[in-house]
Amino acid sequence: MQQKKYTGLIAVGAILLILVIWVFTSYNSLIKNEEKVKLQWSEVQSTYQRRLDLIPSLVNVVKGVSDFEQTTLTKITEARSKALSGMSNDDITAENYQKQKQLQDTLAASANRMIMLIEKYPTLKGTAAYSGLQTQLEGSERRIKVARNDFNKAVADYNRKVRSFPANIVAGLFGFKKKDGFEAAAGTEKSVEIKF
């Protein structure tokens, strides 16, 4: 009788130990995925910042080489200022990144308008400084697209983990919630493009 009781306690203890190990590994896996989302969000922010840093240089080159339309330069400066004020690493929420995406898309559209108007100024198009900035801006747009895609992949991996059984039990116990990624605005099939 004593032997059966002892064997039963060992079996219950082993099951509890396996359950505790499973909870710890599931929790750590969820943390890892959540940190990946945060890392990718920081990368998106970094690529946005790169664009914001290039715009003033581009505007200054344009100002220096031509009698460019002042309203265009004012609009791009205002768009950059708004985009800069919208930068935030605080909350990784769909509302936050949709707001940032709108501000960044407005900035990209303003830069696109400026570049189209530049074609009227052949002297400016041939300037080495302008050409270098143009290439860097094009590279920034590519980086933003890649960073957004990587962020969405990290969010998808995290959400798959949060929603799949049995990890969803641990996610529910510790408050891990589904996250939203970037979504295209209605009617747009591709990101804002800077055309050269």
* Tens of pLDDT, residues 78-119: 887 888 777 766 667 777 777 777 888 887 877 777 777 666
* Tens of pLDDT, residues 42-86: 888 888 888 888 877 777 776 666 555 566 667 777 887 888 777
What's the CA gap between 109 and 141, in Å, rounded? 12
